[in-house]
């Protein structure tokens, strides 16, 4: 009997620790997303000047989170398994740095072309070189900053005795939000100031540089595996995230009529993706160390984690509604009432978490059973799916409640 009580107490202690660490990281992430919401509100006029940029914003922010949250997840696994020691240089570390930067450049080029195609399809006029150049410059500038943040968050959390799986994804997605959006607009200003000839020359040079960076260091086994497993996944992810951009682009006039909702979008999508990413990172680590079986039937422990995510959502998503309303009032943007903003964020958020729980679990199980590393596969697919599903949930709830 004593052993049973000890096991129950240990389980509750573990879940309580996970809940506390996850809520702290998510609260920090949500408060930090105030900056993103304010940035989005302040730059509303810039979006009006180049509407096609609204299509690039979700996949650009999402891809930054995909690449560097995956890196953070791998670092967490390496630290848990002892493959990586804090403060010690290794080839494993170098190959992860190279692969993350290469993926950033390749995917930035890809997203520029996808965003241009979607923009053209829905009647937004922008040339492919300009949009691609904005994507590449914004991606290159943000990669340097995101590498620093990712390593700092993973190593510092591990050194302090926290589980990196609870900390890296939310904080890295926060950094991705804060860094990517202003740099994207900065890139837009740079590109707009160029002549057509300058754009063509710089675009060509960046394409060549990206190819050299990607293929020159193809020596390490880890580097090759990350690229081979990640690129096909990221191509699909970029397409999924771009669909969320298409939803925003198609409803551009309606959204701009209540621009306060636009200030909610980055925080809503990133917090939804971060909640799912916490689960994905934990599942990956547990599958690697053997504490969780790759069964298609979730265990009681997994259901407890699902419930934990819903509890976090009850705290986080109403805050997003409050923040979006406050930003709207501060920046004199048209908005719904405070109560309406909270209800919209809460209902759409809980729907998103329900889907994220199941997607995170089954993607982790399927990828692991297929012999793929979940750290390379699950978080990118999950966060990109959450971009699309989150945007659809948000817009769907607007219409369901009669606010649209």
Cβ atoms within 10 Å, residue 14: 13
Tokens representing residue 163 in the block: 């589980």
State the pLDDT at residue 269.
79
In the chain, where are the structural domains located? 2-400
Short-list 43, 48, 99, 108, CA closest to 242: 108
Question: What's the pLDDT tens digit per position in 13-66?
Answer: 566 777 777 777 677 667 766 677 777 666 666 666 677 777 888 788 778 777
State the pLDDT at residue 337.
86
State the pLDDT at residue 219.
66
State the pLDDT at residue 167.
67
Whole-angstrom Cα distance, residue 169 to residue 383? 10
Helix H or strand E segment including 88? none
Instruction: Look at phi and psi of residue 341 and say left if phi exceeds 0, alpha if psi is from -120 to 50, else beta.
Output: alpha
State the pLDDT at residue 33.
67
Tokens representing residue 309 in the block: 């995510």
State the pLDDT at residue 8.
41
Helices (H), 290-331: 300-330
Distance of alpha carbon 367 from the chain centroid? 19
Q: What is the pTM of this model?
A: 0.69
Phi, psi dihedrals of residue 65, rounded to the nearest 5°: -65, -40
239 three-class SS? helix
Averages of pLDDT over runs of 10 residues in the chain (404 residues) are 43 64 72 70 67 80 80 80 74 85 91 89 83 91 89 81 69 77 87 89 90 73 84 84 70 58 77 80 82 84 88 90 86 82 92 91 89 77 80 82 68
Distance of alpha carbon 382 from the chain centroid? 9
Cβ atoms within 10 Å, residue 258: 18
């Amino acid at each position: 009997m004593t052993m049973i009580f000890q096991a129950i107490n240990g389980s509750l202690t573990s879940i309580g620790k996970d809940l506390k660490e996850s809520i702290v990281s998510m609260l920090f992430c949500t408060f930090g997303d105030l900056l993103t919401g304010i940035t989005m509100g302040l730059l509303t006029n810039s979006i009006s000047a180049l509407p096609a940029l609204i299509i690039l914003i979700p996949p650009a922010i999402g891809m930054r989170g995909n690449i560097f949250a995956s890196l953070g997840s791998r670092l967490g696994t390496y630290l848990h398994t002892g493959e990586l020691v804090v403060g010690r240089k290794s080839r494993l570390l170098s190959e992860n740095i190279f692969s993350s930067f290469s993926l950033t450049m390749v995917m930035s080029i890809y997203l520029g072309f996808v965003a241009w195609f979607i923009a053209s399809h829905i009647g937004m006029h922008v040339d492919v070189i300009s949009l691609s150049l904005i994507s590449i410059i914004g991606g290159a500038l943000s990669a340097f900053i995101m590498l620093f943040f990712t390593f700092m968050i993973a190593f510092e959390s591990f050194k302090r005795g926290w589980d990196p799986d609870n900390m890296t994804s939310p904080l890295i997605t926060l950094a991705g939000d804060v860094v990517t959006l202003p740099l994207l607009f900065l890139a837009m200003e740079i590109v707009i100031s160029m002549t057509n000839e300058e754009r063509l020359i710089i675009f060509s040079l960046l394409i060549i540089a990206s190819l050299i960076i990607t293929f020159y260091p193809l020596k390490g086994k880890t580097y090759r595996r990350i690229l081979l497993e990640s690129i096909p996944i990221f191509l699909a992810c970029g397409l999924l995230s771009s669909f969320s951009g298409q939803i925003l682009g198609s409803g551009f006039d309606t959204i701009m009529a209540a621009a306060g909702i636009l200030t909610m979008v980055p925080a809503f999508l990133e917090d939804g993706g971060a909640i799912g990413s916490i689960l994905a990172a934990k599942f990956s680590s547990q599958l690697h160390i053997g504490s969780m079986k790759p069964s298609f039937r979730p265990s009681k422990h997994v259901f407890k984690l699902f419930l934990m995510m819903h509890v976090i959502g009850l705290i986080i998503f109403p805050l997003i509604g409050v923040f979006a309303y406050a930003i709207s009032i501060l920046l004199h943007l048209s908005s719904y009432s405070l109560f309406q903003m909270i209800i919209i964020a809460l209902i759409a958020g809980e729907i998103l978490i329900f889907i994220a729980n199941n997607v995170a679990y089954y993607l982790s199980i399927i990828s692991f059973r297929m012999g793929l590393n979940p750290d390379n596969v699950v978080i990118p697919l999950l966060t990109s799916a959450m971009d699309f599903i989150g945007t659809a949930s948000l817009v769907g709830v607007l219409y369901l409640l009669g606010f649209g």
